[in-house]
Structure 1
Amino acid sequence: MRYLPLTPSDRQGMLSEIGAASIDDLFVDVPEAARLSGPIADLPNHASELAVERHMTALARKNTVAGEVPFFLGCGAYRHHVPASVDHLIQRGEYLTAYTPYQPEIAQGTLQMLFEFQTQVARLLGTDVANASMYDGSTACWEAIGMARRITRRGKAILSGGLHPHYVSVAKTMAKYTGDVLDTSAPTLGADTDIDTLIGRIDADTSCVVVQYPDILGRIADLTPLAQACHAAKALLIAVVTEPVALGAIRSPGEMDADIVVGEGQSLGVGLQFGGPYVGLFGCKDKYVRQMPGRLCGETVDADGRRGFVLTLSTREQHIRREKATSNICTNSGLCALAFSIHMTLLGEAGLRRLAGLNHAGACRAADRLSQAPGVTLVNDSFFNEFTLDLGREARPIVRQLAERGILAGVSLGRLYPGEDDLANGLVVAVTETTTPEDVEALATALEEALA
């Protein structure tokens, strides 16, 4: 039985108050093609719990399990080994049932965990401070653009062609309602990044330049010249990291003077999970901390001099007037942040560097082997654990063909950039510590046969 506490007159009164003629007016921003005109076809009105369980189990069996096949997918979501202790600890009742600390003084455990998470993220990203997490990398990226607008009082953001197209899409969706102008472009299928081009596009209206590191093709660039150019124009440099394990091997964006560093923390402690929930990372220079979205936990002492933790900054709608809130993201990804923090703690700095070394070494071996296939060219001059191959022909059919053989070969650029013919031959391949030499050989053999 549905619970409908509002009467028709109640609803009409609320609609009149906000100036809407009908409930449908509240969904005008949803494309009509995406709206349901009636019940979902072929879905029964009711079924027994047992029947539903059997049906869902049958559907689940149609999935390809990442750990059971050669797996080379990446582009922002990576398969890493997550120690069993991570899952064991986050399922403890005091963590699993913890909610946002509306009364911080009685949530010392939650606040301490978030404080430790912030410390780890700030050190990883090379920033002065970090917040208690965001929803995911893409929304963190947009929040950084909004933060740059508030700081510079300018409304033009330049987005690198190497920025993940899904992140660009999120920014475009949000910019429709803020008036921000987004200067975007597509990447080129070559070894060079677009750093020099980005520098040339900076002008007096630029609030920020957004660059991914490593970028969508896996390329790594020195961000220092770009940071200098941004600062000369009184603009901010925003760096986006989708593979945090890379920062165990390469310089952090903060070390190269990036003003805001955001990213996706899924690689550490969080499984692929069909695309979410994930955990957004967000750090910045100390001088910008009051414009940082989300919340920030701090360390202090109580009246008796004992160590304690507090919610230091929380400039969000639920705590201050809405028009003064820095973000409408009203929470943090607490459980995923905890998983990230536990995994980082288990690794330590030395462990993270060793893990990064395993990833890079494996990727180097895979790049050498795969580029031996006839007609295949390695695009990158530099990479961490992800690189791009030019197959010499359209990659999407090849990916589908190999998937039918039980090999998930990577992400085709044609899928990410439909209509960009210059990118259609590109295949982005990710290699982690979970990739075996046998996996690489299976991919290489299958690729040679498919291209023959």
Structure 2
Amino acid sequence: MRYLPLTDADRTAMLGVIGAGSIDDLFADVPAAARLTGPIEGLPGHASEMAVERQLRGLANRNLSAGDAPFFLGCGAYRHHVPASVDHLIQRGEFLTAYTPYQPEIAQGTLQALFEFQTQVARLFGCDVANASMYDGSTACWEAIVMARRITRRGKALLSAGLHPHYVSVCRTMAKFTGDTLVTATPELTDGAPGDDLATLIASVDGETSCVVVQNPNILGHVADLSELAARCHEKGALLIVVVTEPVALGAVRSPGEMGADIVVGEGQSIGVGLLFGGPYVGLFATRDKYVRQMPGRLCGETVDAAGQRGFVLTLSTREQHIRREKATSNICTNSGLCALAFSIHMSLLGERGLRDLATLNHARAAQAAERLVKVPGVSLVNGAFFNEFTLRLPKEARPVVRAMADRGVLGGVSLGRLYPNVAALEKGLVIAVTETVADEDVEALATALTEALA
């Protein structure tokens, strides 16, 4: 994007048109604590182009890339092997430069790719219909809550203790503007089913509940059967929303739709999309056919043209940029088209059998790692059922242990103290993610680093 400079007169004129007294007024909703009061520390001031490049390169070299060390980070963003063919195909000119098909009749290739993506997501989630992708998993989660309010005409959502805290944070931020009541909880390191509060949720659903939001596998890696919770929600006229942050798990775990979920959302990053420093990612959204007109985003459909030839159209497009405008179901339903294409290509390369094999390999690697790590003195496993992510209880606070392992060149998991900084009961928890990219020597390096960090 080109940099377009403005004069002081230009800025004054623009502020006058929108009725703002100064540029600072545009950031009034940003908390003062989050605003910079001076230059960014560590960045150079006025310097030559070569000097700036040299300093920025030095800063970049301080990063430790996921592929350069034994890697066990997860909690919503996972390192999987993405075939080189995925990157090769998405960089073809017709894909890389394509954007939202505002004139869909001349964007048949883009529409067909999105149609295939929708089909894959719907089958993966066990739902009738999926949209053409969302911004990311966290905003898709919030969109599902708003959708449930439109359907049930109720404003209270129950959020499981096992829902990713970053997703909860996004929902809290958005609820400030809608008035929705969010009932939240903090997970517990209960042996066998960490973070599983299904019994509490079942007992809490009442006639004022719009929806229950539960993650599976949850933030601590526990996998649960949600069928009983789904039945309770439907008995009380509420919807069950299931969040999936690791879609590879659905190659081994029963789909949320099969368990009775009404809306299924998730993060598609782990299929076709790299870690990318946290984004861009791709939100997944699927639901039952009877709720399709309340679904945010866009839906691509298949039809035939005047000559009887197969063709693709935008069947629904309830976005604020289209005809619905202020009546649209969403204004943050960005279609992450290129990431959705990467997801779809990788899924096509895998196929159903390949996805099942990949899921089996992930679980086997994780089980192997868990068996090895519990042999470290003072370490115990709190999970019962898990997929490729599990939680350990350490004999001391996990945050400095994670730092000590990083100093030894091992990215050894995510400390619960980082995710829940004010919850003392969780500070000894360490979440370990193990994918097909982890080798035997990586597990041994983690066990060694953990032993030394706990000594």
Same topology, TM > 0.5: yes
Q: How far 1:39 moved relative to its partner?
A: 4.3
Q: How far 1:22 moved relative to its partner?
A: 4.2
User: More deviation in 53-62 or 265-274?
Assistant: 53-62
Residue 246 of structure 2: aligned partner: 243
Q: How far 1:67 moved relative to its partner?
A: 1.1
Instruction: List aligned pairs for 1:56-75, cutoff 5 A.
Output: 56-75=56-75
Render the CA deviation track for 1:55-96: whole Å, top value 9, x for unaligned: 332222111111121110000000000000001111111100
Equivalent of 1:4 in 6, 9, 32: 6
Distance 1:26 1:368, change over 3 A: same
Residue 395 of structure 2: aligned partner: 392
Instruction: List aligned pairs for 1:151-170, cutoff 5 A.
Output: 151-170=151-170
Q: How far 1:202 moved relative to its partner?
A: 1.0
TM-score (norm 2): 0.96
Residue 150 of structure 1: aligned partner: 150
CA contact (8 A) 1:74 1:410 kept: yes
Instruction: List aligned pairs for 1:285-300, cutoff 5 A.
Output: 285-300=288-303
Q: Counterparts of 2:96 and 2:12 in 1: how far apart (Å)?
A: 40
Q: How far 1:134 moved relative to its partner?
A: 0.5
Equivalent of 1:280 in 256, 280, 283: 283
Residue 121 of structure 2: aligned partner: 121
> Unpaired segments of 5 or more residues in structure 2?
none
Q: How far 1:117 moved relative to its partner?
A: 0.4
Q: How far 1:446 moved relative to its partner?
A: 1.9
Q: Counterparts of 1:161 and 1:2 in 2: how far apart (Å)?
A: 47
Q: Counterparts of 1:56 and 1:40 in 2: how far apart (Å)?
A: 13
Residue 417 of structure 2: aligned partner: 414
Instruction: List aligned pairs for 1:197-346, cutoff 5 A.
Output: 197-346=200-349
Q: Counterparts of 1:9 and 1:220 in 2: how far apart (Å)?
A: 56
Residue 403 of structure 1: aligned partner: 406
Q: How far 1:194 moved relative to its partner?
A: 0.7
TM-score (norm 1): 0.96
> Unpaired segments of 5 or more residues in structure 1?
none
Residue 132 of structure 1: aligned partner: 132
Secondary structure of the equivalent of 2:430?
strand
Residue 27 of structure 1: aligned partner: 27
CA contact (8 A) 1:160 1:194 kept: yes
Render the CA deviation track for 1:104-133: whole Å, top value 9, x for unaligned: 000000000000000000000111000010
Residue 368 of structure 1: aligned partner: 371
Identity %: 75
Render the CA deviation track for 1:334-364: whole Å, top value 9, x for unaligned: 0000000000000000000000010000001
Q: Counterparts of 2:33 and 2:388 in 1: how far apart (Å)?
A: 39
Q: Counterparts of 1:104 and 1:416 in 2: how far apart (Å)?
A: 42
- Indicate the RMSD between aligned Cα atoms, in angstroms: 1.6
Q: How far 1:21 moved relative to its partner?
A: 4.5
CA contact (8 A) 1:104 1:310 kept: yes
Distance 1:56 1:42, change over 3 A: closer
Equivalent residue pairs, number = 449
Q: Counterparts of 1:282 and 1:340 in 2: how far apart (Å)?
A: 14
Alignment of 1:449 with 2:440, yes or no, is no
Q: Counterparts of 1:330 and 1:336 in 2: how far apart (Å)?
A: 14
